[in-house]
Structure 1
Amino acid sequence: MADDTLTNFRKVNRYVAVRNRQYSVSEPFAKERGFSLSELLALVALHFDEFGNPSEGCTQREMVARENLTKQTASAIVKSFHQRGWVRLDEDPNDRRCKIIRLTDEGRAATTPVVEEFVERWNAAVGGLSDEEYRQLMIGMGRLADLVDESFSGAL
């Protein structure tokens, strides 16, 4: 393996380790409260829109995109929440093939404290970054995402 390839491989591994660490600290938090991390992320999508405002629901497609869930995982979570009576599925007036997933009063009551605590902890963590650190993080992560997209486009 060429030196630059090995160096890049190490960079990728370091990035993945940092990303995994972010999720690994959130997983026990979710489990201690009776959820998987994927369920908790789905609940965040149901409680808040992409701008952090209270949400009136979202489609499964939006949930998948915003919370980086697979379609299968999101589908299973929505089905489970529906069986518990935590969500209802309303027809999307803009696309009759889609359903808008909305929390019921029971679902909101059962999940709001956990979701609020989760979001508060993430807000506190991000709030620990200076404006410049946050700006650099977003620039770097955006650039990396663009490069990964470029590297994998047409790879299939």
Structure 2
Amino acid sequence: MDNKDKIIGLIDNYYDAWFEINNIYHDWAKRHGMQDTTLFVLYVIKNTVPYCTQSEICNKLYLPKQTVSQILSGLEKDGYIIREPNTKDRRNKVIRLTEEGTSFATSILEELKSAEIEAFSQMSEKQRSTVVEGFKLLCDSLNKSLSK
């Protein structure tokens, strides 16, 4: 097997792992009564202080504006967020968690974080660093080769 075939095999394994990781988050979110996209929108809202905008969510998660708008409408209907006019940019509303939304997001995201910590704890410190550094390196390399 030559080097190109080895790399193709690694790419196939990478795709399998990537799809499986996405499916793991999808299944976990579904068991908690939501879509994975909603889970990650809550993550962005909660971790963007003091507030965020729909554009920031779209840019961070690489989701279409319409998808994010539908998710935000559902969260607003459930009383988890409020959307207010942005005095700095009238085209984008400010999104904030309500008190109920903060409680809900904190609870679900802490549960997720605990599971992620448990998963990372099953690896050595070197393995954890290798995974994260490898993903960053792959991201940079893909960005360069796919933007040609």
TM-score, with normalisation over the residues of structure 1? Answer: 0.78
| Residue 56 of structure 1: aligned partner | 50
| Equivalent residues in 2 for 1:83-98, closer than 5 Å | 83-98=77-92
Per the alignment, in what secondary structure is the counterpart of residue 92 of structure 1? coil
Say if 1:85 and 1:18 are closer, same or farther in 2 by CA, change over 3 A: same
Where does the alignment leave 5 or more consecutive residues of structure 2 unmatched?
none
| Residue 128 of structure 1: aligned partner | 122
Q: Which range moves more in the overlay, 115-124 or 3-12?
A: 3-12
Structure 1 moving runs of 4+ over 6 Å? none
CA distance in 1: counterparts of 2:92 and 2:117, whole angstroms: 31
Identity of aligned residues (%): 26
CA distance in 1: counterparts of 2:10 and 2:59, whole angstroms: 26
TM-score, with normalisation over the residues of structure 2? Answer: 0.81
Say if 1:47 and 1:32 are closer, same or farther in 2 by CA, change over 3 A: same
Bigger strand share: 1
CA distance in 1: counterparts of 2:114 and 2:80, whole angstroms: 22
Say if 1:12 and 1:73 are closer, same or farther in 2 by CA, change over 3 A: farther
Contact 1:92 1:99 in 2 (8 A): yes
Q: Tell me the CA shift for residue 38 of structure 1.
A: 0.9
Contact 1:46 1:56 in 2 (8 A): no
Say if 1:70 and 1:131 are closer, same or farther in 2 by CA, change over 3 A: farther
Say if 1:124 and 1:62 are closer, same or farther in 2 by CA, change over 3 A: farther
Per the alignment, in what secondary structure is the counterpart of residue 97 of structure 1? coil
1:41-83: per-residue Cα shift (whole Å, max 9, x none)?
A: 111112224xxxxx43322233234344343322221122122
Say if 1:114 and 1:18 are closer, same or farther in 2 by CA, change over 3 A: same
Per the alignment, in what secondary structure is the counterpart of residue 18 of structure 2? helix
Where does the alignment leave 5 or more consecutive residues of structure 1 unmatched?
50-54
Per the alignment, in what secondary structure is the counterpart of residue 95 of structure 1? coil
Say if 1:86 and 1:151 are closer, same or farther in 2 by CA, change over 3 A: same
| Residue 11 of structure 1: aligned partner | 10
Count of equivalent residues = 148
